[in-house]
Amino acid sequence: MLSFFTMNFWQLVVFISSLAPLGRAASGNLTFPPGFRWGAATAAYQVEGAWNQSEKSPSIWDKVVHEYNHLIQDRSNGDVACDSYHLWKRDIQMAKELGLDFYRFSIAWTRLVPNGFSNAISEDGKNYYNNLIDGLLAHGIQPMPTLYHWDLPQRLQDLGGWTNPLVADWFADYARVAFSLFGDRVEYWITINEPTMVCELGYGLGLVAPLIKEPEVGKYMCIKNIMLAHAKAYRVYEREFKDRFNGKLSLANHYVWYEGETDSDGIAAELTRQFQYGLYLHAVYSKEGGWPPAVEQHIAENSRREGYNSSRLPAFTQEEKALARAVNHYSSRAVRQRRARVPAAQSSPFSGNFEFNVTYEGRPEWKKGRSFWFLINPAGLRNVLTWLKTRYGDHEVIITENGYSDVPDVVNDDVRINYFREYLTQVHRAITEDGVNVTGYTAWSLMDNIEWVEGYKSTFGLYQVDFSRAERPRTPRKSARYYASVVRANSLDVPEPQDIIMINGASQMWTSSMRIFVLLMALFTFRNT
């Protein structure tokens, strides 16, 4: 028998939560289908650090944090971040502690192909991702790489970035490098993370890298090119790798749930969904391809009225249309029609749309998270999932991000646990009641990291990271233990998180009274068995 005292902490958690009679089970059958997969996610810029290691070149985020540091709320940067470049073994260990089936991370374009172009591959970059992938697989954890999580090589930005139509080819070439190096060990690839954030916030409002304020024209050029980039990478995989590796590819789109503020706003809410999701889906999942017709028409009419010669939304050629679902979800908005003009500079997935004068707001009953954009409405996730199925058919869906932001210090993060429990209950209902084919769920994030312009003050981690120490120690939060027990049970019918025995605070020391308590419980059960 495994001696009680030689158990490490995680064995202990497994052990304690397997003492069924001691835990209070949640009511109802909230077990997920067999084979359902559980993961957690990070992104290269947010965790890796080592921003100028070896040949790595600067990305657009390196430039923003160094040259426009005042735009980062706590004036921090990602130069070291979680130091995952050096601490990847610890990251794998954490994934293991949680019992994950897969780990979603991203590849830094600037680390693998520092030129931006695929004529030179970095040995160092190649080794780093090989180590990570092999290390995960050695523990039975599937790697789920994202090719682009917002860190464009600055060199390509200087050449126009996502507004240069050639970027689609540059991306496909980079994708080919990644497929050929790592594709033999990857089942699920994510091409581009949240194009809506890249284009609306990066090229529309100019709030994130590359800080371009071009809501009328630049934003739509970005959207078209990013969709073509996805399509081209998809075709590269299909033509050159599918036979051998048989993996799957998807964009990871961001879905805020939008509903009408009142019944009369219902049409505006559906138009919003076409703008916010349809622009990133229609080309891939509809029969006819191209842009959603209602959106295309709207922008074309506005453009004509404004005196443009052609629509601000560039059309797809027939050839482009002939080219090809991952879900990121956090928050909801109520859509409200406005009589007054909504300025272009106040348009974003979180605030409104100037093309048809609507604002996106909260409802009084939706609680706020730590970030301004974060409103909690668990039913929103189920609504997104059923909307996708109704509109674009019955596809396999993986939830590639979902999570809750809080201040860094909170270790006993009951609010986050509730967030996970409530959102996951909605996922369960989408599967069992609505028949949506959701096959996996990914918690954002495995650990605290740099939350883009919000710096290190808004944290999503299952593990807390101490950024004041060079070693960047990671400590499991209470939510890590909750998530681990859900993963293990493949079910939300697990003891309430407060019943799971936790280590309090940043240290992993057991207090002596806790030790005695656990010991007594152990003796008690052994006697019973």
105/444 with CB nearer ligand GBH: 444
**Residue 365 CB burial class (10 angstroms; 0-12, 13-18, ≥19):** exposed
Q: Which of 320, 355, 401, 451 is catalytic?
A: 401
Among positions 248-277, residues that touch ligand GBH (CB under 6 A) are 254
User: Running DSSP on this structure, what letter comes out for residue 161?
Assistant: G
Max distance between CA atoms of the chain, in angstroms, equals: 84
Among positions 398-427, residues that touch ligand GBH (CB under 6 A) are 401
30/252 with CB nearer ligand GBH: 252
Backbone angles phi, psi at 93, to 5 degrees: -60, -40
Give the nearest distance from C-beta 322 to ligand GBH in angstroms. 30
201 scored as a contact of ligand GBH (CB under 6 A):
yes
Give the nearest distance from C-beta 444 to ligand GBH in angstroms. 5
Residue whose C-alpha is closest to residue 236's, from 190, 317, 191, 175: 175
Give the nearest distance from C-beta 311 to ligand GBH in angstroms. 26
Buried b (16+ CB within 10 A) or exposed e, 498-525: eebbbbeeeeeebeeeeeeebeeebeeb
194 catalytic, yes or no?
Answer: yes
Q: Which of 17, 225, 451, 490 binds ligand GBH (CB under 6 A)?
A: 451
299 scored as a contact of ligand GBH (CB under 6 A):
no
Give the nearest distance from C-beta 80 to ligand GBH in angstroms. 17
- List CB contacts of 409: < 8 A, sequence separation 6 or more: none
373 scored as a contact of ligand GBH (CB under 6 A):
yes
Decide: 169 and 116 in contact? Cβ < 8 Å.
no
Show the site string, 321-360: x = touches ligand GBH by CB under 6 A, - = not: -------x-x------------------------------
Cβ neighbour number for residue 157 with a 10 Å cutoff: 21
Show the site string, 161-200: x = touches ligand GBH by CB under 6 A, - = not: --------------------------------xx--x---
Helices 9-17 and 512-528: crossing angle in degrees, nearest 10, is 50
Residue whose C-alpha is closest to residue 227's, from 285, 188, 280: 280
207 scored as a contact of ligand GBH (CB under 6 A):
yes
Task: Give 236-245's long-range contacts (Cβ < 8 A, gap of 24+).
Answer: 236/172, 236/175, 236/176, 236/179, 237/175, 237/179, 237/183, 237/189, 238/324, 240/176, 240/179, 241/179, 241/180, 241/183, 244/183, 244/184, 245/179, 245/183, 245/184, 245/186
Give the binding range for ligand GBH (CB under 6 A) out of 20-28, 260-268, 446-454, 479-487.
446-454
280/444 with CB nearer ligand GBH: 444
306 catalytic, yes or no?
Answer: no
Q: Which of 194, 259, 261, 270 is catalytic?
A: 194
Residue whose C-alpha is closest to residue 358's, from 264, 282, 222: 264
448 scored as a contact of ligand GBH (CB under 6 A):
no
316/444 with CB nearer ligand GBH: 444
Sign for the pseudo-dihedral over CA of 427, 433, 434, 437: positive
Give the binding range for ligand GBH (CB under 6 A) out of 91-99, 240-248, 300-308, 449-457.
449-457
Give the nearest distance from C-beta 197 to ligand GBH in angstroms. 5
**Which of the residues are catalytic?**
194, 401
Positions in the binding site for ligand GBH (CB under 6 A): 43, 46, 193-194, 197, 201, 207-208, 254, 328, 330, 373, 401, 444, 451-453, 460
